[in-house]
Amino acid sequence: MQVILFSHRLAKAKTLTLSLRHVAVSVTLALGLLLGLTAALYWVSLRFAAELKLPVIQQLAFAAQKGENESARAFMQQNLNAMAVKLGEMQAQLTRLDALGERLSALTGIRPQEFRLSETPGLGGAPATSVAPQDLSLAEFNGRLAALSRDMEQRTDMLGVLEAQLFEQTVKKKALPTMMPVNATFNASGFGMRIDPFTGQRAMHEGVDFLTDPGTPVVAAAGGVVQFAGFHPQYGQVVDIDHGNDLVTRYAHLSKLLVREGAVVQRGRAVAESGNSGRSTGPHLHFEVRFRGVAQNPSRFLLAANPQVPLARAK
């Protein structure tokens, strides 16, 4: 491209030759200058919009400020929603801990007040004067909230394991014949070698005899399944209860049976009435505990739960 310049000061016309490169550079510089001026004018307008008090500029400034406020509000709302979800999870965990605490208090005998985790404990103290108080940032708050949630989950798991162990111990304890089979404060003959009342010879007495009136209720010393309920030539009317783990209790010389073979009985349920049936010199209850068929001393089991009960020795 050629540009011819005419002037009355020049003796002759001048010719300028512009290449495509020159034209592109010129256009680019012009556009850059235009954009720079526009940006500068926009910034000056927003910066001094309050002083200029031009309606159009003020509307632009308000629109820009409103957009920033909306973005900040949306950001804060997102964080609040996330914290609300986390707070809901922690409240659910706290409800689980409260229910778990009630079950643990029932298993251990501790007062339920000790496990009221939903109640805020008493806290206090004067603020420190040597260190200035500091506000938590949003990131710090989220971090502490997440750490607290993890701690609650760990403690819930630990308490759950403790509950399982306590429940297992409670079940085992209930399966042991530690409950008095009859309401009697005195027993006539204990476990061990004694003089047989029929032969006058020393013989092994494999149970404990409780003096009772005929018809006195006889209860299961522990929960189990009735293994046998019927007549035995020596024991008379007898009930055998299997408590599992090769442990069986026997209730002999009964006058009346209240259960049948195969019945599931709970601890403390009446299974018979005492009497004087079989090889017996008078009304009483003969109580045995057998482990794998071998007679054990019932006193060891009864004293475990009833340390004040007087138990006689063999005679």
pTM of the complete model: 0.50
Q: Tokens in use for 11?
A: 């003796």
* 39-89 pLDDT, tens digit each: 777 776 666 655 556 566 566 667 767 777 777 777 777 777 777 677 667
| CA 130 – CA 70 distance, rounded (Å) | 40
187-305 CATH pick, 2.70.70.10, 3.50.50.60, 3.40.50.300, 3.90.870.10: 2.70.70.10
Sequence letter at residue 25: V
The pLDDT of residue 217 is 96
168-199: b (≥16 Cβ within 10 Å) or e: eeeeeeebbbbbbbbebeebbbbbeebeeeee
* 195-246 pLDDT, tens digit each: 777 777 888 888 899 999 999 999 999 999 999 999 999 999 999 999 988 8
* 160-180 pLDDT, tens digit each: 777 776 766 666 666 788 889
Report whether 90 contacts 148 (CB < 8 A): yes
Report whether 239 contacts 228 (CB < 8 A): yes
Where along the chain do its domains lie? 2-46, 78-117+139-175, 187-305
Q: Is 4 left (phi over 0), alpha (psi -120 to 50) or beta?
A: beta
pLDDT of 272 > 90? The answer is yes
